[in-house]
Amino acid sequence: MKKHKLLIAVIMFGLTWAAIVRAEAQPIEQQTKPTILLVHGAWADASSWNGVVDLLLKDGYTVRALPNTLRGLSADAAVISTYLKSVAGPVVLVGHSYGGSVISVASANAPNVKALVFVDAFAPDAGESIHSELASAPPPPSDFTISVPFTASNGDGADLYVNSKYFGTVFASAEPADVATRLAATQRPLAERCATDRAPEAVGWKTIPSWYVIGDADKVIPPDIQLKFATRAKSEIYHVPGGDHPSMIAHPEVTVAAIRDAANAVSH
């Protein structure tokens, strides 16, 4: 009888221990799934990520589409850096267009950023600016942007808006006319200095693995310049045939594929 009770106790202990192990293993797995942080570029806002967000939420990711203040490279990167400090666990940091410059700087001293994803984006090296990176591209029309002066505590400046007549033909050239018109009406301007601010010595893509999505019909950052950025950063490259500058709006699945691959690399 005593042996029988002892055997039952041993079996029950084993079952209990196995249950504890299974219960503890599940949260650990969930905790290692990275948070996805999305940083929009100029002449857009966080809603430009809507299609991407919907797909990532279905995958069970924690996702945040962060506001990019568009005031200057160091100031914008500082905002993202501050938010990164509030996130526990690994992060996949994603940037579109000028947002690529911002994540390059913000990630340099952020140990929880384990992967970078660039979408039709700038990826500057030390001393480079948007202006210098586009030096080899065909110049835009002289009235491509509309400058609106402002006065701030740190001096005078100007906000740059895309002229509405070019928004659908250049910036969002693959979008239906009604979508392009709405995007033009809701665009957020960037401060003029964003185009000339130079990247600091430390940029994240030099040490953090990266993935890069190229819209093959991008008329803002020519695809050959994007390919240069991606090759220099040793990024895994994805192409969007016919993709315009915000290629993730019409084709969110390509950007999500890059993010999933980055997240899987982080998780294993």
Q: What is the distance between the alpha carbons of residues 29 and 43, in angstroms, rounded to a whole number?
A: 38
∠ at Cα 200 (44, 258), nearest 5°? 50
Residues 6+ apart with CB under 8 A from 105: 73, 74, 77, 199, 200, 202, 203, 204
Note the pLDDT of residue 27.
44
Residue showing tokens 């509030």 = 86
What is d(CA 174, CA 242) in angstroms, rounded to the nearest whole number? 7
Residue pair 213/140 in contact (Cβ under 8 Å)? The answer is no
Do 126 and 144 form a contact (C-beta atoms < 8 A)? no
Do residues 101 and 124 touch, judged by C-beta distance below 8 A?
Answer: yes
Say what the pLDDT of residue 107 is: 98
Q: Provide the residue-wise pLDDT of the chain in tens; the chain has 268 residues.
A: 444 444 444 334 443 444 433 434 444 444 579 999 999 999 999 999 999 999 999 999 999 999 999 999 999 999 999 999 999 999 999 999 999 999 999 999 999 999 999 999 999 999 999 999 999 999 999 999 999 999 877 778 999 999 999 999 999 999 999 999 999 999 999 999 999 999 999 999 999 999 999 999 999 999 999 999 999 999 999 999 999 999 999 999 999 999 999 999 998 7
d(CA 18, CA 38): 39
Q: How far apart are CA 119 and CA 214, in angstroms?
A: 6
Q: Is 2 helix (H, G, I), strand (E, B) or coil?
A: helix
CA 186/CA 154 separation, integer angstroms: 27
Yes or no: say if 114 and 90 are a contact pair by the CB < 8 Å rule.
yes
In the chain, where the domains are located = 34-267
Q: What is the β-pairing status of strands 155-162 and 35-39?
A: unpaired
- Type of residue numbered 6: L
> Please, which residues have CB within 8 angstroms of residue 129's CB and are 6 or more apart in sequence?
195, 196, 197, 198, 199
Q: What's the CATH class of domain 34-267?
A: alpha beta
